[in-house]
Structure 1
Amino acid sequence: MTPSRPELLSGMALAVFKLNGQFLEIAEGLARPVGLTAAHWQVLGAVLKTPLPVAGIAREMGITRQSVQRIADILAENGMVEYLPNPAHRRAKLVAPTEQGLAAVQQIGPAHAAFADRMCEALGDEQAAGIYRRLRELSDALEALDSGEDGT
Protein backbone atom coordinates (compact mmCIF):
# COMPACT_ATOMS: atom_id res chain seq x y z
CA MET A 1 0.00 0.00 0.00
CA THR A 2 1.33 3.41 -0.98
CA PRO A 3 1.75 5.83 1.93
CA SER A 4 -0.43 8.95 1.92
CA ARG A 5 1.09 12.23 0.81
CA PRO A 6 1.37 13.54 4.40
CA GLU A 7 3.06 10.25 5.38
CA LEU A 8 5.47 10.62 2.46
CA LEU A 9 6.38 14.16 3.49
CA SER A 10 6.87 13.12 7.13
CA GLY A 11 8.86 10.06 6.12
CA MET A 12 11.14 12.06 3.82
CA ALA A 13 11.69 14.69 6.51
CA LEU A 14 12.51 12.12 9.18
CA ALA A 15 14.89 10.28 6.85
CA VAL A 16 16.67 13.54 5.98
CA PHE A 17 16.89 14.56 9.66
CA LYS A 18 18.48 11.18 10.45
CA LEU A 19 20.85 11.50 7.47
CA ASN A 20 21.81 15.00 8.61
CA GLY A 21 22.78 13.64 12.02
CA GLN A 22 24.72 10.78 10.46
CA PHE A 23 26.58 13.09 8.06
CA LEU A 24 27.37 15.53 10.87
CA GLU A 25 28.80 12.69 12.97
CA ILE A 26 30.93 11.53 10.03
CA ALA A 27 32.06 15.11 9.32
CA GLU A 28 32.98 15.65 12.99
CA GLY A 29 35.13 12.51 12.88
CA LEU A 30 36.86 13.63 9.69
CA ALA A 31 37.42 17.24 10.81
CA ARG A 32 38.42 16.64 14.44
CA PRO A 33 41.98 15.37 13.70
CA VAL A 34 42.86 18.71 12.05
CA GLY A 35 41.34 20.81 14.83
CA LEU A 36 38.07 21.69 13.08
CA THR A 37 34.44 20.93 13.75
CA ALA A 38 31.95 19.89 11.11
CA ALA A 39 30.51 23.42 11.15
CA HIS A 40 33.97 24.95 10.69
CA TRP A 41 34.66 22.60 7.78
CA GLN A 42 31.27 23.41 6.26
CA VAL A 43 31.92 27.18 6.27
CA LEU A 44 35.47 26.73 4.97
CA GLY A 45 34.16 24.45 2.24
CA ALA A 46 31.65 27.06 1.13
CA VAL A 47 34.44 29.56 0.33
CA LEU A 48 37.11 27.28 -1.13
CA LYS A 49 36.35 28.21 -4.74
CA THR A 50 35.40 31.84 -4.27
CA PRO A 51 35.09 34.22 -1.32
CA LEU A 52 31.50 34.88 -0.26
CA PRO A 53 29.78 37.24 2.16
CA VAL A 54 28.32 35.65 5.28
CA ALA A 55 24.79 35.94 3.87
CA GLY A 56 25.88 34.11 0.71
CA ILE A 57 27.40 31.28 2.75
CA ALA A 58 24.20 31.04 4.78
CA ARG A 59 22.11 30.78 1.61
CA GLU A 60 24.40 28.08 0.19
CA MET A 61 24.25 26.06 3.40
CA GLY A 62 20.60 26.67 4.25
CA ILE A 63 21.32 28.00 7.73
CA THR A 64 21.00 31.36 9.44
CA ARG A 65 23.33 34.25 8.73
CA GLN A 66 23.94 34.60 12.48
CA SER A 67 25.19 31.00 12.73
CA VAL A 68 27.57 31.52 9.83
CA GLN A 69 28.78 34.84 11.28
CA ARG A 70 29.59 33.18 14.62
CA ILE A 71 31.53 30.36 12.92
CA ALA A 72 33.31 32.72 10.50
CA ASP A 73 34.41 34.89 13.43
CA ILE A 74 35.82 31.83 15.23
CA LEU A 75 37.62 30.74 12.06
CA ALA A 76 39.03 34.26 11.61
CA GLU A 77 40.27 34.29 15.23
CA ASN A 78 41.98 30.94 14.57
CA GLY A 79 43.60 32.16 11.33
CA MET A 80 41.56 29.85 9.06
CA VAL A 81 39.69 32.60 7.16
CA GLU A 82 40.08 36.30 6.62
CA TYR A 83 37.61 39.06 5.86
CA LEU A 84 38.24 40.87 2.58
CA PRO A 85 36.68 44.04 1.14
CA ASN A 86 33.60 43.34 -0.95
CA PRO A 87 33.41 45.48 -4.09
CA ALA A 88 29.66 44.79 -4.32
CA HIS A 89 28.84 45.84 -0.76
CA ARG A 90 30.79 48.17 1.50
CA ARG A 91 29.72 46.61 4.83
CA ALA A 92 29.31 42.92 3.92
CA LYS A 93 32.92 41.70 3.88
CA LEU A 94 33.88 38.60 1.92
CA VAL A 95 35.00 35.49 3.81
CA ALA A 96 38.04 33.85 2.22
CA PRO A 97 40.17 30.92 3.38
CA THR A 98 43.73 31.60 4.47
CA GLU A 99 46.65 29.31 3.61
CA GLN A 100 46.15 27.75 7.06
CA GLY A 101 42.46 27.11 6.32
CA LEU A 102 43.23 25.62 2.93
CA ALA A 103 45.88 23.37 4.48
CA ALA A 104 43.42 22.14 7.12
CA VAL A 105 40.84 21.22 4.48
CA GLN A 106 43.53 19.51 2.39
CA GLN A 107 44.53 17.44 5.45
CA ILE A 108 40.95 16.16 5.67
CA GLY A 109 41.06 15.10 2.01
CA PRO A 110 42.57 11.59 2.34
CA ALA A 111 40.19 10.48 5.11
CA HIS A 112 37.27 12.04 3.22
CA ALA A 113 38.24 10.16 0.04
CA ALA A 114 38.62 6.90 1.98
CA PHE A 115 35.16 7.27 3.51
CA ALA A 116 33.69 8.13 0.09
CA ASP A 117 35.25 4.95 -1.31
CA ARG A 118 33.74 2.86 1.49
CA MET A 119 30.31 4.42 1.02
CA CYS A 120 30.34 3.95 -2.77
CA GLU A 121 31.57 0.38 -2.37
CA ALA A 122 28.64 -0.30 -0.04
CA LEU A 123 26.06 1.30 -2.36
CA GLY A 124 27.61 0.85 -5.78
CA ASP A 125 28.67 3.85 -7.84
CA GLU A 126 25.50 3.95 -9.95
CA GLN A 127 23.19 3.85 -6.94
CA ALA A 128 25.29 6.47 -5.11
CA ALA A 129 25.05 8.77 -8.15
CA GLY A 130 21.30 8.18 -8.35
CA ILE A 131 20.82 9.01 -4.67
CA TYR A 132 22.82 12.20 -5.11
CA ARG A 133 20.73 13.18 -8.13
CA ARG A 134 17.44 12.47 -6.32
CA LEU A 135 18.51 14.44 -3.23
CA ARG A 136 19.35 17.43 -5.46
CA GLU A 137 15.96 17.07 -7.15
CA LEU A 138 14.21 17.00 -3.76
CA SER A 139 16.14 20.07 -2.63
CA ASP A 140 15.32 21.91 -5.86
CA ALA A 141 11.61 21.02 -5.52
CA LEU A 142 11.50 22.25 -1.92
CA GLU A 143 13.28 25.46 -2.91
CA ALA A 144 10.79 26.04 -5.73
CA LEU A 145 7.85 25.41 -3.38
CA ASP A 146 9.33 27.73 -0.75
CA SER A 147 9.81 30.53 -3.28
CA GLY A 148 6.34 30.10 -4.69
CA GLU A 149 7.55 28.92 -8.10
CA ASP A 150 4.97 26.12 -8.04
CA GLY A 151 2.20 28.64 -8.72
CA THR A 152 0.46 28.39 -5.34
Structure 2
Amino acid sequence: MSETDPAQVPGELTDRLTEVFDLVGPLYRRAQRKVEQDAPIEGLSVGVRAVLNLLREHGPMTVPQMGRAQALSRQFVQRMSNDAAERGLVEFVANPAHKRSSLIRLTGDGRTAINAVMDRERAVLRQVGGDLTEAEVAACLRVLSRLLRLLDDVEVD
Protein backbone atom coordinates (compact mmCIF):
# COMPACT_ATOMS: atom_id res chain seq x y z
CA MET A 1 0.00 0.00 0.00
CA SER A 2 1.09 3.53 -0.63
CA GLU A 3 2.57 5.33 2.35
CA THR A 4 1.06 8.61 1.16
CA ASP A 5 -2.44 7.16 0.87
CA PRO A 6 -3.15 4.29 3.28
CA ALA A 7 -6.57 3.77 1.70
CA GLN A 8 -4.98 3.04 -1.71
CA VAL A 9 -5.43 -0.56 -2.85
CA PRO A 10 -2.26 -2.27 -4.16
CA GLY A 11 -2.11 -3.16 -7.87
CA GLU A 12 -2.59 -6.92 -7.43
CA LEU A 13 -5.69 -6.38 -5.32
CA THR A 14 -7.00 -3.87 -7.85
CA ASP A 15 -6.61 -6.54 -10.54
CA ARG A 16 -8.54 -9.03 -8.37
CA LEU A 17 -11.32 -6.47 -7.83
CA THR A 18 -11.51 -6.09 -11.60
CA GLU A 19 -12.13 -9.85 -11.73
CA VAL A 20 -15.05 -9.33 -9.34
CA PHE A 21 -16.61 -6.80 -11.72
CA ASP A 22 -15.96 -9.14 -14.64
CA LEU A 23 -17.99 -11.84 -12.86
CA VAL A 24 -20.78 -9.66 -11.47
CA GLY A 25 -22.02 -8.53 -14.90
CA PRO A 26 -22.51 -12.03 -16.37
CA LEU A 27 -23.89 -13.27 -13.03
CA TYR A 28 -26.48 -10.50 -13.03
CA ARG A 29 -27.45 -11.09 -16.66
CA ARG A 30 -27.78 -14.85 -16.17
CA ALA A 31 -29.86 -14.36 -13.04
CA GLN A 32 -32.03 -11.91 -14.96
CA ARG A 33 -32.57 -14.44 -17.76
CA LYS A 34 -33.41 -17.14 -15.20
CA VAL A 35 -36.06 -14.93 -13.61
CA GLU A 36 -37.49 -14.15 -17.04
CA GLN A 37 -37.50 -17.85 -18.01
CA ASP A 38 -39.54 -18.57 -14.90
CA ALA A 39 -41.74 -15.51 -15.48
CA PRO A 40 -44.60 -17.45 -17.11
CA ILE A 41 -45.27 -19.04 -13.73
CA GLU A 42 -46.02 -15.69 -12.06
CA GLY A 43 -45.71 -13.50 -15.15
CA LEU A 44 -43.10 -11.28 -13.52
CA SER A 45 -40.46 -9.35 -15.40
CA VAL A 46 -37.13 -8.71 -13.69
CA GLY A 47 -38.18 -5.11 -13.06
CA VAL A 48 -41.49 -6.03 -11.45
CA ARG A 49 -39.71 -8.70 -9.40
CA ALA A 50 -37.26 -6.03 -8.14
CA VAL A 51 -40.13 -3.74 -7.10
CA LEU A 52 -42.02 -6.56 -5.36
CA ASN A 53 -38.92 -7.75 -3.54
CA LEU A 54 -38.08 -4.24 -2.29
CA LEU A 55 -41.60 -3.89 -0.94
CA ARG A 56 -41.41 -7.36 0.62
CA GLU A 57 -38.17 -6.45 2.38
CA HIS A 58 -38.88 -2.84 3.36
CA GLY A 59 -42.64 -2.37 3.38
CA PRO A 60 -44.39 0.45 1.52
CA MET A 61 -42.04 2.79 -0.35
CA THR A 62 -42.25 5.64 -2.83
CA VAL A 63 -40.97 5.41 -6.39
CA PRO A 64 -37.99 7.70 -5.63
CA GLN A 65 -37.07 5.60 -2.58
CA MET A 66 -37.11 2.42 -4.65
CA GLY A 67 -35.11 4.07 -7.41
CA ARG A 68 -32.40 5.14 -4.97
CA ALA A 69 -32.34 1.76 -3.25
CA GLN A 70 -31.78 -0.10 -6.53
CA ALA A 71 -29.86 2.57 -8.49
CA LEU A 72 -32.66 2.62 -11.06
CA SER A 73 -34.29 5.60 -12.73
CA ARG A 74 -37.55 6.84 -11.23
CA GLN A 75 -39.15 6.46 -14.65
CA PHE A 76 -38.24 2.77 -14.82
CA VAL A 77 -39.47 2.14 -11.28
CA GLN A 78 -42.70 4.00 -12.06
CA ARG A 79 -43.29 1.84 -15.16
CA MET A 80 -42.62 -1.36 -13.22
CA SER A 81 -44.88 -0.19 -10.38
CA ASN A 82 -47.63 0.63 -12.87
CA ASP A 83 -47.22 -2.82 -14.47
CA ALA A 84 -47.45 -4.46 -11.06
CA ALA A 85 -50.51 -2.36 -10.14
CA GLU A 86 -52.29 -3.31 -13.39
CA ARG A 87 -51.84 -6.95 -12.38
CA GLY A 88 -53.09 -6.32 -8.83
CA LEU A 89 -49.70 -7.05 -7.24
CA VAL A 90 -49.23 -3.60 -5.68
CA GLU A 91 -51.44 -0.69 -4.83
CA PHE A 92 -50.83 3.04 -4.56
CA VAL A 93 -51.85 4.54 -1.22
CA ALA A 94 -51.73 8.01 0.27
CA ASN A 95 -48.39 9.02 1.73
CA PRO A 96 -48.85 11.04 4.91
CA ALA A 97 -45.29 12.39 4.55
CA HIS A 98 -45.67 13.64 0.97
CA LYS A 99 -48.92 14.43 -0.84
CA ARG A 100 -47.51 14.12 -4.38
CA SER A 101 -45.51 10.91 -3.92
CA SER A 102 -47.77 7.95 -3.19
CA LEU A 103 -46.61 4.97 -1.22
CA ILE A 104 -46.62 1.69 -3.07
CA ARG A 105 -47.41 -1.44 -1.11
CA LEU A 106 -47.78 -5.12 -1.85
CA THR A 107 -51.21 -6.65 -2.15
CA GLY A 108 -51.89 -10.19 -1.00
CA ASP A 109 -51.46 -11.41 -4.58
CA GLY A 110 -48.18 -9.51 -4.83
CA ARG A 111 -46.87 -11.08 -1.64
CA THR A 112 -47.87 -14.54 -2.89
CA ALA A 113 -46.15 -13.94 -6.25
CA ILE A 114 -42.86 -12.63 -4.83
CA ASN A 115 -42.75 -15.35 -2.17
CA ALA A 116 -43.13 -18.00 -4.89
CA VAL A 117 -40.31 -16.42 -6.93
CA MET A 118 -38.06 -16.20 -3.86
CA ASP A 119 -38.78 -19.83 -2.95
CA ARG A 120 -37.78 -20.93 -6.46
CA GLU A 121 -34.63 -18.79 -6.38
CA ARG A 122 -33.64 -20.24 -3.00
CA ALA A 123 -34.13 -23.76 -4.39
CA VAL A 124 -31.69 -22.92 -7.20
CA LEU A 125 -29.20 -21.38 -4.77
CA ARG A 126 -29.28 -24.51 -2.60
CA GLN A 127 -27.65 -26.29 -5.54
CA VAL A 128 -24.44 -24.24 -5.12
CA GLY A 129 -22.94 -27.03 -3.06
CA GLY A 130 -21.59 -27.46 0.42
CA ASP A 131 -18.01 -26.35 -0.16
CA LEU A 132 -18.76 -22.65 0.46
CA THR A 133 -18.45 -21.49 4.04
CA GLU A 134 -20.35 -18.82 5.91
CA ALA A 135 -17.08 -16.89 6.22
CA GLU A 136 -16.57 -16.95 2.44
CA VAL A 137 -20.09 -15.70 1.80
CA ALA A 138 -19.65 -12.99 4.46
CA ALA A 139 -16.38 -11.90 2.81
CA CYS A 140 -18.09 -11.81 -0.59
CA LEU A 141 -20.89 -9.65 0.79
CA ARG A 142 -18.35 -7.34 2.45
CA VAL A 143 -16.40 -6.88 -0.80
CA LEU A 144 -19.50 -6.30 -2.94
CA SER A 145 -20.93 -3.87 -0.37
CA ARG A 146 -17.65 -1.92 -0.34
CA LEU A 147 -17.63 -1.72 -4.15
CA LEU A 148 -21.26 -0.62 -4.16
CA ARG A 149 -20.49 2.16 -1.66
CA LEU A 150 -17.57 3.27 -3.86
CA LEU A 151 -20.03 3.80 -6.70
CA ASP A 152 -22.86 5.29 -4.62
CA ASP A 153 -22.45 8.74 -6.13
CA VAL A 154 -23.08 7.61 -9.72
CA GLU A 155 -26.18 9.35 -11.07
CA VAL A 156 -29.06 7.13 -12.19
CA ASP A 157 -31.48 9.58 -13.84
- TM-score scaled by length of structure 1: 0.77
| AA of the residue aligned to 2:49 | W
In the alignment, structure 2 segments of 5+ residues that lack a partner are 1-9
1:137 partnered with 2:139: no
Identify the residue that residue 33 of structure 2 maps to in structure 1: 25
Identify the residue that residue 97 of structure 1 maps to in structure 2: 106
Identify the residue that residue 65 of structure 1 maps to in structure 2: 74
Q: State how 1:69-148 maps to structure 2 within 5 Å.
A: 69-119=78-128, 122-126=129-133, 129-146=134-151
Question: Which residue among 13, 19, 29 is the counterpart of 1:11?
Answer: 19
CA positional deviation for 1:132: 3.7
In the alignment, structure 1 segments of 5+ residues that lack a partner are none
1:45 partnered with 2:50: no
CA distance in 2, matches of 1:79, 1:141: 37
CA distance in 1, matches of 2:61, 2:131: 35
Superposed CA RMSD: 2.5
CA distance in 2, matches of 1:98, 1:83: 10
CA positional deviation for 1:87: 1.5
Task: Please identify which structure carries the higher helix content.
Answer: 1
1:35 partnered with 2:43: yes
- TM-score scaled by length of structure 2: 0.75
Distance change in 2, residues 1:125/1:78 (3 Å): same
CA positional deviation for 1:115: 1.1
1:95-146 residue CA offsets vs partner (Å, 9 max, x unmatched): 1011121121233344233212212xx25352xx445423432343234434
